[in-house]
Chain A
Amino acid sequence: MKRITYILLSLFCAITTYAATYKSVNEIKMVYLEDSTRYVCNPDGILSEDSVAQMDAMIEYLEDSTSIQIVVVAVEKIESGDCFQFATDLGNLHGIGQKKKNNGLVILLSTKDRCIQFATGSGLEGYLPDAICKRIQNRYMNEALSQGLYDKGMTAGVRAVCGYLDGSMKPEIDDEGGDSDIFMNILGFLGLTGLLSWYIRRKMKKCPNCKKIGLEKKSCTLLAETSTYKRYEDVYVCKYCGQTVKRPYTIATGTRSSGGGFSGGSFGGDISDPGGHFGGGHFGGGGAGSRF
């Protein structure tokens, strides 16, 4: 009996001291990719649902108004203990932030390593300089975090960051000159289609006998009909040499001569695809970190 208690006790101790440890940035699941209104990755359940919802709301507003993409990650332990490298690598792996603006931000909390790190995208460094990152951490986060009040510290920090970045930039559509691009593409496409159809029709009018473009359709007769298809025969006569050409063909009943249209895709965020996309932003090592 004593032995069993001893074993159970040591197991219990082992379990409680076990901290979810992350070795590679691949192991953190990005909730944003599944739901574009969620930015806080909380795999170890460190933060309460309430504060997660609060932070999500603030960050969503910021993304809508400025196109800045923020991801918050709260974990227990990172194997390397290097919060700076982990946060920067996370940002680069997923390409957080817009491609041209590089305005991503990763906020990483590791409770057992006792570090909080802001990693700013290379385009965000001017708007949220290292010194400000440090200031936010010192003023709003470090004390609460050191006391284990993770919800309080993180929410205050996110609020400060969003407040600081509010109105800092406009969410322009990333492809400037994209408008004229699409126009030219459509024009080119129509031109090509027109050219192609002209060429095909011309070919069809070519007389096999005298090689001139003189065939004219004289009649079109229905040869046979079943429930699934109809068989026609067109008779063409060349106006130069009088050559007669017969062209039989089959049409499936119910088809129309023009092809179907194409359905366009959307850039994510509608009912069929609620997941978000990271813009492909780049991180150069900016930001600041604190140990608490």
Chain B
Amino acid sequence: MNKTTLIVIGGLVALVFWAIGVYNGLVTKDEGVKTAWSNVETQYQRRMDLIPNLVNTVKGYAAHEKETFEAVIKARAEATQIKLDIDDLSEENLAKMQAAQSTLSGALGRLMAISENYPELKANEQFRELQAQLEGTENRITEARRVYNETAKEYNTDLRVFPGSLVANIFGMKSHPYFKSDEKASQAPTVQF
């Protein structure tokens, strides 16, 4: 084995190790995105869990606002249908999910708005606490989406820059879509006392 062969082999080994390093880095960041995504789903789920209680509380004081209740319940049912795994998170699927959640936000907003007309409801301690919980959940959703977008951006960037793009092509790694800012429901449903 002459010197040149040794050098070539050494170079190849180094290359392999380097490629492994790049791959591992990408995988680690991908896992970060997965975690961030599951956090987003958790917070959306948290909001869905709050809704039945909220609807029942409002019904206790404003029983004949049927349309509003039905809108909320329907929107919630549709949003529940869309369960997305990180693997089937394509641009379209995410857009669909975001749209469904946006519709739900709108319906919830109207629900909270009608409480304005029912002073007894507004004063009800349970309603106020549910309202606080809803606001808190909306904040958590915002934060979770922000963190997801950040981690997705890091991963996507690494995927596109030079060493990453090679490894990504070999292993078929794809970039993750982003949450777009909601044009319509830009504010959490809050009610001024």
Contacts and interface: CB of A to CB of B under 8 A. Distances in A.
Interface of A: 84-85, 88, 129-131, 133-135, 138, 283-289, 291
B136 A286 contact: yes
Given A129-B136, A285-B144, 7 more contacts: A88-B143, A129-B133, A130-B132, A130-B136, A138-B128, A286-B136, A288-B136
Contact of B142 (A134, A135, A285): A285
Nearest to B143: A285
Nearest to A133: B132
B139 interface: yes
Contact of B136 (A85, A283, A287, A291): A287
Contacts of A133: 132, 136
Contact of A84 (B132, B137, B139): B139
Contact of B133 (A85, A130, A291): A130
B139 A285 contact: yes
Interface string B135-150: 1110111111000000
B142 A131 contact: no
A280 to B, nearest CB: 16
Contacts of B117: none
Nearest to A131: B129
Contacts of B129: 131, 134-135
A286 B139 contact: yes
Contact of B132 (A131, A283, A285): A131
21 contacts: A84-B142, A88-B139, A129-B136, A130-B133, A131-B129, A131-B132, A131-B136, A133-B132, A134-B128, A134-B131, A135-B132, A138-B128, A284-B39, A285-B136, A285-B143, A286-B136, A287-B139, A288-B132, A288-B136, A289-B135, A289-B139
Contacts of A283: 143
Contacts of A85: 142
Contacts of B139: 84, 88, 285-287, 289
Q: Which of B131, B136, B141 has the most CB of A within 10 A?
A: B136
Contact of A286 (B39, B128, B140): B140
Contacts of B130: 131
A135 B143 CA distance: 22
B192 interface: yes
Contacts of A291: 192
Nearest to B43: A285
A285 B192 contact: no
A130 B140 CA distance: 11
Contacts of B192: 291
Contacts of A286: 136, 139-140
A288 B143 contact: no
Interface in B18-44: 39, 43
A58 to B, nearest CB: 24
A130 B135 contact: yes
Contacts of B128: 134, 138
A284 B144 contact: yes
Nearest to A120: B136
A288 B144 contact: no
A141 B29 CA distance: 43
Nearest to A87: B139
B140 A134 contact: no
A228 B173 CA distance: 68
Contact of B140 (A129, A131, A138, A284): A284
Top 10 A-B residue pairs of the complex, sorted by shortest distance between their CB atoms? A285-B143, A130-B136, A134-B132, A285-B140, A131-B129, A131-B132, A285-B139, A84-B139, A130-B132, A288-B132
B12 to A, nearest CB: 36
A271 B187 CA distance: 49
B74 to A, nearest CB: 26
Contacts of B143: 88, 283-285
A222 to B, nearest CB: 53
A134 B136 CA distance: 10
Contacts of A285: 43, 136, 139-144
B9 to A, nearest CB: 34
